[in-house]
Structure 1
Amino acid sequence: MTVKDFIPTAYKNLIEKGSYIWSSPSNIALVKYWGKKEHQIPENPSISFTLDSCKTTTTLRFSKKENNNEFLFDVFLDGEKKDDFKPKIETFFKRIEAYLPFLKGYYFKIETSNTFPHSSGIASSASGMSALASCLMSLERSLSGVEVTDEYFTQKASFLSRLGSGSACRSLEGDLVVWGKHDEIDGSSDLFGVKYPFEVHQNFKNYNDTILLVDKGEKQVSSTVGHNLMHNHPFAQERFKQAHSNLSSLIDVFKTGDLKSFIKIVESEALTLHAMMMTSMPYFILMKPNTLEIINKIWVFRQKTSSNVCFTLDAGANVHVLYPEAETEMVNEFINNELVAYCQNGHYICDRIGFGAKQL
């Protein structure tokens, strides 16, 4: 698929007004994407677990308007009007207008809610943009008047999502999604996410992700700013090579069910991500003291018990505790006894692997 494949022909149907509702989950990258080229193209491929409970539900209400000169929309989060979200949505609309030429023909009311704290290192932009892109694709499907296959719908929704938030393109499907061209993964693309196409061992089915909310506040440095700091970063090129290599290694790990190798790759990726932040110019740190306390506790517990629990981090202070389904009881007891004390107000979210966006 190329960019041209997502430019529609003339629409056959006229729709005055209506609404669509989609929910879409966040995702947690195992091999991280950090750094991008023009047009939201990643510098390196990434792979993620799609989540289940951490999701955004978006209702898109639309009505035909008189002039087609400008984008007209309002955004609401949990029922509260959010004008500060509008610049990001307007940028998104400008980027995708060539692929959805009906955008200036409608007034949109975008109503959204998250099951987790906004802007705290759980990828709310990933779930939010993928839910909104799915709603817009539903409208295009109705306008087109021709059959739109589910495969094309999902690919284009992923393609559009990427133009709003890079990692959003990995939220449309599950349970493992690859984004970014990788020589060993057929069908992988910089333009959209694809379902991981190879064999996955039973060890990685129904994997758990308990998210420890160390800090529920706004990040002091946004992911967008962080990505841009990879331009001219002294270690950037080696980092991009490392991501390719780690993704290659995971192919065998997923096939054989090698949990020990999985842990090494995933934890190394998390720490490398934050090392890139700490060595950029200007440098910054998103981890908090309690982030490090939790990591050390996990290492001690794993050494004592031979558990397969591990951690990963997104661009924030919160810790994603990953563990196989078979260890649910043991790890939950460990979390409650030793890790909850390091969470803000004792808050954490129990999640697991999910399977992508759903129309409601």
Structure 2
Amino acid sequence: MESKQHCCRVLYEASSLGYPNIALIKYWGKRKCPWQDEQFMQHEHPGHYACRRFRVSCNNPINDSLSVTLNNDNMKTYTTILLCQLNNSSPGVNDEKFSGDRMYLNDQEIDMSPRYRRLLHIARTFISNHDPTLGKLFAEDRITFCVITKNFFPTAVGLASSASGSSAFAGALKRLCDKISTRDSSVSYSIPHPTVLARFGSGSGCRSLCDGFALWKSTPIEHCKENEPCAVSIASSQHWTSLHILILVFPFRKGQSSPSKEISSARGMETSLRSSPFVHQLTADGFQSPVKADRITRLTKAILHRDFSTVAEITMTESDELHAICSTSTPVIRYLNRFSETMIQFIRRYNSLQNVICETKDKYYCAYSFDAGPNMFLFCEEPHIAEIFAAILDLFPGTAHESCFLQKPLNEAKQHPHIFDEKLQSLIAEYASSLCSIFEAACDAPHSDRPYLPYVYHSTPGGGVVV
């Protein structure tokens, strides 16, 4: 990159932001791709051809999923894609091993995954069809893509950074292709819908392009249309502004140099689909499980009516079920750690105690969810966010102020101790002691001798990526 101005010329460039999303209804397993099943080859689209060429999944899920997009600016990905013309002096232009396309993540060059090479192949084909001059340069290896990405939050820890990354990549790629596209009606080759592009990069990325609450449909491959969205918004980010989300990143274990998970989501899905008896498999006619379909219907209705208790019940059931599937896979998959499990117990008891304090019955005041990682997503409504955040700080008293990335109303709250109900204070003290024991036994403590959270993020429903 440092010699870019001397060895290449930027012809086009485009950028996009991407944000993560958290699935309330999960998917854990993918349908077969056309190149994996010969009977579907007749339905192949350009994107499916690219999947076959690079031997990667089409990321078509076995069931619908429903998510909420986040909007904290400290949890985002910013991606710029450059289309560059190489000069004769460009390193490697005449080298038979020259691969051309380059990718940089947080200022470090990385190997580009087959998923993203697939997306650039789709774009290369689209550009070549719309601009024969550029197509000739592609054929001569005279132009290449350079992808520059910055991630503003931890990757590969179950915080949906892949969704954020693929949505930013898809947004930038779509904008780049729009700059080159022609109005010539004789050119019939079109680039897939941005949600489909994002899905090809990382399945759940298609939901991050949607405003607010997103539904990603599971569709048999013969019914897929690449020019139509595979994920749609069912309610905007302005529909439920009183819904708050806290994301807790737990401390690293002793001997762990980074927070990265040991088993990727893709590998975990393959293992579970093959071996767990609790996966909701496709029906004989290729459609999703009726259990999942019913939950989608109930959750959609609950979101539209802002029915937090129903949203909480389904969200926690889905999270528990995902990790039950993982624990019954062969070999066993464990994403949760002792912090995760202890905090699950705390939230369950918090809800029970709040029913006593508030004289309600079977009502939920807070909900949790985990993706494929140990870190926790907490959901509540605005009247309870200050109390829950104060409880988190009492449970993890070593958490630094600069580790908390907060929004209204938490970032406006006066710095004074929260006064808890006596019974709740007792519950917090009980779990603070348990977490302290876990911390002392399991974690290195370079920053604090008390349990602390490396990161705490606060969000409300976000607007997705505008393409």
TM-score range, shorter chain: 0.7 to 0.9
1:150 corresponds to: none
Q: Which amino acid aligns with 2:80?
A: T
Residue 83 of structure 2: aligned partner: 62
Q: Does 1:255 align with 2:324?
A: no
User: Partner amino acid for 1:227?
Assistant: M
Matched, 1:235 2:292: no
1:7-30: CA deviation from partner (whole Å, max 9, x where unpaired): xxxxxxxx9613222111010000
Indicate if the aligned counterparts of 1:188 and 1:194 stay in contact, CA closer than 8 A: no
Alignment-mate amino acid for residue 351 of structure 2: R
Return the structure number with greater strand share: 1
Alignment of 1:88-99 (within 5 A): 88-94=115-121
Q: RMSD between aligned alpha carbons?
A: 3.3
Identity %: 24
Residue number in structure 1 paired with 2:109: 81
Alpha-carbon distance, 1:284 to partner: 1.1
2:148 maps to what in 1? 111
**In the alignment, does 2:218 pair up with 1:218?**
no
TM-aligned CA distance change 1:339 to 1:253, over 3 Å: farther
Query: 2: CA distance between counterparts of 1:200 and 1:347?
Result: 24
Answer yes or no: is 1:308 the counterpart of 2:365.
yes
Q: What amino acid sits opposite 1:135 in the alignment?
A: A
**Which letter does structure 2 place at the counterpart of 1:272?**
E
Counterpart contact for 1:155–1:193, Cα < 8 Å: no
Residue 217 of structure 1 deviates from its aligned partner by 1.2
Kindly indicate whether the alpha-carbon contact (under 8 Å) linking 1:44 and 1:180 is maintained by their aligned counterparts in 2: yes
Alignment of 1:47-196 (within 5 A): 47-53=66-72, 54-65=75-86, 72-83=100-111, 85-94=112-121, 105=138, 106-146=143-183, 156-181=193-218, 192-196=230-234
Residue in 1 that maps onto 2:428: none
* 1:46 pairs with 2:65: yes
Q: 2:28: which partner in 1? A: 34
The residue aligned with 1:352 is 460
Q: 1:278 to 1:158 in 2, by over 3 A?
A: same
Please give the secondary structure, in 2, of the residue aligned with 1:173: coil
Instruction: State the partner residue of 2:407.
Output: none
Distance in 2 (CA, whole Å) between partners of 1:286 and 1:145 is 47
Highest CA radius of gyration, 1 or 2?
A: 2
d(CA) in 1 for partners of 2:218, 2:193: 17
Instruction: Give the partner amino acid of 1:318.
Output: N
Partner Cα distance (1:220, 1:26) in 2: 20
**Cα separation, 2, equivalents of 1:41 and 1:74:** 27
**1: CA distance between counterparts of 2:231 and 2:265?**
19
Q: Could you tell me how far apart the structure 1 residues matched to 2:203 and 2:64 are?
A: 11
Cα 1:295–1:126 shift into 2, 3 Å: same
* Structure 1 residue 326 displacement after superposition: 3.1
How far apart in 2 are the matches of 1:296 and 1:87?
40
- Give structure 1 stretches of 5+ with no counterpart: 1-14, 148-152
Alignment partners' CA distance in 2, 1:107 and 1:42: 32
The amino acid that maps onto 2:105 is: L
Q: 1:332 to 1:78 in 2, by over 3 A?
A: same
With CA pairs under 8 Å and 6+ residues apart, which has the higher RCO, 1 or 2? Answer: 1
1:275 aligns with 2:313: no
Aligned equivalents of 1:257 and 1:155: distance in 2?
A: 34
Query: 1 CA distance for matches of 2:170 and 2:452?
Result: 32
Alignment: residue pair count: 332
Please give the alpha-carbon distance, in whole angstroms, between the structure 1 residues aligned to 2:174 and 2:238.
Answer: 34
Q: Identify unmatched segments of 5+ residues in structure 2.
A: 1-8, 34-57, 88-92, 129-133, 185-189, 253-257, 283-287, 356-363, 399-434, 436-450
Q: Secondary structure at the match of 2:19?
A: strand
**Cα distance in 1 between the residues matched to 2:327 and 2:371:** 14
Is 1:209 aligned to 2:266, yes or no?
no
Aligned letter for 1:89? Y
Paired residue type of 2:12? G
